[in-house]
Structure 1
Amino acid sequence: MIRVDRGPKPEGLEAIRKVEVKRLAALAREAPPKAKDFGNRYNITRRDLWKAQGRTCCYCERRIDRLYNDVEHFRPKTRAYRGQGRPMHGYWWLAWTWANLLFACPSCNRRHKKNKFPLARGSRILPAGHRPPGPERAILIDPSGEDDPIEHIQFVPFRQAGKKEKWIPVARGGSRRGKRTIQVLKLDRPALVTDYGDHVSDLVSHHVKAIREAIHAGDGRIVAKAWRSALRTLFYRRQAFKALSHDVLDHHFPPEVRRQWGLELERP
């Protein structure tokens, strides 16, 4: 998972938000709005989000080459499972709020995150109509929030004799939020772990080998050229699994090696 910059709000979204929030507020006075009450006018944001995220899922970073996938509500609109016996009403007033919308693959959104939105112990729930975060302390990492997901989630190699090397996401430095985000989104699910391994073996390893060979040759110009080539390819805007690529490079070429050769590894 990497940071997401949505860019400017799509034209027309604010007008839709004002109308829809007023409509839902009337319903909410009687009972919490149900899924059928929302419609799908927030889908006006789908193309903008898809492009802003480089056509990748906001959570798992898989490539999404078709536009029919999901507009994801970070704070769930209908019901929110916050844990610890808390109320389960959703954040209906944020269903058309630009800062609450992301683009996600069906596996992350529908199968795993669903309506889960755990809060830290002792955290109060955001009052209806208020802007987040307010008094809430969300445990899930918001890829468009203030925190850099890479500070909380790290990919590490896992080796078994006679088997292909795997790269597994773990909580960086024991981050509780990183651990919980991995658990909720199932970022270590087998299908994804397979994709991670394929990405490393099919693409990243080629650049790691080229950089190593350049370092072995001792020519700084060749090292810098190989490094720049890796960064251009692995952190291309539409490239999948950029957080994984970052951690693979960091693993094979730790800070002391990068300092020696004047190499910079910025977070994607």
Structure 2
Amino acid sequence: MRFVIKPENHKTATLSSQATADAILEIATNMSKDNITDKIYRESYGDPDEKRSRVEDQLALSYHNKCAYCERLAKADIEHYRPKKKVAEDNAHNGYYWLCYEWTNLLPSCVKCNREGAKHSKFPIIGNRVYTPSFLANNQLDEDHQKAQNNPLMNEIPYLLHPEVDNPDLFFGFFIDPSGNGIRIKGVDTQNRGDGTIEVCLLNRQELRLERVENVINPFKQSVESAFVMLGDGIYNDDQFVQQIIFQINQLIINASNEKSTHTLLRKFIVKSHQNFSAIVLPYLASSIRNIVLAAFKSI
């Protein structure tokens, strides 16, 4: 997960239309959940290679075709951050039906994070749950109260972090799985919202643990170990070897700031300090080269 700024003007013409505003008002006024249609919040269209979505296309501008929760490159579900028809933890709740077409409530999510035993209609909170929409004196919806970053929705304090509202850097850390099966993410905040997000979206499922190693650690490991082989073969002299190690570390740092990279949160965590680098990267390197690589990291 990374912090995302999703511009309002990236909304599709349909989501921005008066017809959609009228449809939302009717749904909110009459609690007519059956009238919610994916023709509006998804806007599917034909493509020679696959069925696509205009809303997904617009979300991809900010999310770079990645899942909002796990940051894998994936064909996205159009995910309702606050579930539109029911809330798993609250049988008395009718779902956030009035947010069905709200731009700040729509996120791109991979199938694994959204369905398949993960998020779906789960939405646990710490604060006070909002049960009904807010209306103005003229019986129109209060549009400000529909925004995820505004009260009263903010006062719910959801366990599930919103990548456009919450800075993930403040909520997560990483550690190597004790069984050797990849890298685990952990919550570090005092309200346990990081852990809550991990639980809701199953962010420690095996495929993710292993992908973090494959996509982030292994390219660095292979490049560094190749440099040592080239030094031993006489292809690099000592100065060239040191510069190559420093170059690879700088690539780690650059990719941590590249929004298009996968698993940017892990990348940022690794390069934040030599302690993090030592804990996450060094155990994957041959013991004979760890001190040399760590010294190079500290020199930058």
Q: TM-score, normalised by structure 1?
A: 0.76
List gaps (5 residues or longer) in structure 2.
43-53, 135-144, 232-237, 280-294
Q: Secondary structure at the match of 1:55?
A: coil
Corresponding position of 2:13: 12
The correspondence for 1:115, drawn from 112, 121, 133, is: 121
Corresponding position of 2:208: 192
Q: Distance in 1 between matches of 2:159 and 2:220?
A: 31
Measure how far apart 1:59 and its partner are. Answer: 0.3
Corresponding position of 2:38: 39
Q: Secondary structure at the match of 1:72?
A: strand
Alignment of 1:218-257 (within 5 A): 225-250=247-272, 251-252=276-277
List gaps (5 residues or longer) in structure 1.
264-268
Measure how far apart 1:134 and its partner are. Answer: 1.9
Letter matched to residue 266 of structure 2: L
Query: Are 2:36 and 1:57 aligned?
Result: no
Q: Distance in 2 between matches of 1:119 and 1:141?
A: 10
The correspondence for 1:134, drawn from 138, 143, 151, is: 151
Measure how far apart 1:243 and its partner are. Answer: 1.0
How has the CA–CA distance of structure 1 residues 72 and 223 changed in structure 2, closer, same or farther, with 3 Å as cutoff? same
> Size of the alignment, in residue pairs?
247
Query: Are 2:157 and 1:157 aligned?
Result: no
Q: Distance in 1 between matches of 2:185 and 2:224?
A: 20
Corresponding position of 2:139: none
Q: Secondary structure at the match of 1:40?
A: helix
Q: Distance in 1 between matches of 2:189 and 2:27?
A: 45
Write the deviation string for residues 27-51 of structure 1: whole angstroms up to 9, x where unpaired. 55555513x6323212232101123
- Bigger Rg, structure 1 or 2: 2
Query: Are 2:97 and 1:92 aligned?
Result: yes
Measure how far apart 1:247 and its partner are. Answer: 2.3
Do 2:94 and 2:131's aligned partners in 1 also have CA atoms closer than 8 Å?
no
Query: Are 2:140 and 1:125 aligned?
Result: no
> In percent, how many aligned pairs have the same letter?
21
Corresponding position of 2:47: none
- Greater RCO, CA 8 A, separation 6+: 1
Letter matched to residue 111 of structure 2: P
Measure how far apart 1:195 and its partner are. Answer: 1.7
How has the CA–CA distance of structure 1 residues 222 and 208 changed in structure 2, closer, same or farther, with 3 Å as cutoff? closer
Q: TM-score, normalised by structure 2?
A: 0.69
